[in-house]
Amino acid sequence: MSTFPNGMLFVASDIEPTDEADFNRWYDREHIEERVRMNGVISAARYQSLDGNPKYLSLYWADSTEVFAGAAYSKAFVNQTEWSIKTIKRMIRPYRRIGTVEASVGQGSGAYVAVLPLQLDRECSHIMHLCKEAGQYLSDDATFVRSYVIFPDDTLSRPLPQEDLSKRIMSPLFIIESSDSVANGIALRFATANLPCVPQEAARYSLSWKLASSELM
């Protein structure tokens, strides 16, 4: 077990091919750095899908969920830049979740990330127990880096403009980070077999790049 940030912002979306280049430039040249410069945000990482949807994923680590409830973040969310307003409207089937990180096993960041939405058919404490057990089992693999579960907060997880609100469910998200793609897929198959989920909702991603607040000039 290791210390792990208590808060996470999870954003996933698709984008039309004609908008993809500008979408990536916006993330890479403006948005990621803008968010990481906020007090309490530790780092942000971008990923692209290997299996499943949506195609793009961003994970933002913070000291706690209070960072995303604070005045600075709330002001930035409401007062987006012109480029952000244009780009966010173009996101397809986005979902944005902010929540606490629980049942963390391992340390570091992996090049491959598996995301498994869990069913809300059990108590949170039971889900945490199952996720912790799964992480401890997976940690025997030398390519395992870290696993954890995010419990989204409905109030903090304000929807993006194009999110389908009829399908808006605050599902816990079990995440597995690995240093090897094949092993990450095997780990995900183990998780789908042992955790309450719909396997077809799982997705796997590869790391594009990551920026830490300690790297900013």
The predicted-structure confidence for 162-203, as pLDDT tens digits, reads as follows: 898 888 889 999 999 999 999 999 999 999 999 999 999 999
DSSP string over 56-85: EEEEEEES-THHHHSHHHHHHHHS--HHHH
**What pLDDT was estimated at residue 75?**
85
**DSSP-assigned letter for residue 163:** -
Confidence of residue 5 (pLDDT cuts 50, 70, 90): low
22: CB partners within 8 A, 6+ apart: 87
pLDDT at 2 (0 to 100): 42
Summarize pLDDT for 114-126 with one digit per residue, the tens: 999 999 887 999 9
Phi then psi dihedrals of residue 88, to 5 deg: -60, -35
> If you average pLDDT over residues 150-154, what whole number do you get?
95
Residues 6+ apart with CB under 8 A from 157: 96, 97, 98, 99, 170
pLDDT tens column, 63-93: 999 999 988 888 888 888 999 999 999 999 9
Is the per-residue pLDDT at 151 higher than 80?
Answer: yes
124-138 and 181-194 helices, crossing angle to 10°: 140
d(CA 72, CA 169): 27
- Output the pTM of the full model: 0.93
Residue 159 is classified by DSSP as P
What are the two backbone dihedrals, phi and then psi, of residue 152, each rounded to the nearest 5 degrees?
-65, 145
Q: CA–CA separation, 52 vs 184, rounded Å?
A: 14
* Structural domains for the chain: 7-215 (3.30.70.100)
Strand ranges, E, within the chain: 7-14, 41-51, 56-62, 92-106, 112-117, 144-152, 173-178, 203-212
**What is the distance between the alpha carbons of residues 130 and 101, in angstroms, rounded to a whole number?**
14
Least confidently predicted of 43-47, 143-147, 158-162: 158-162
Higher pLDDT, 78 or 57: 57
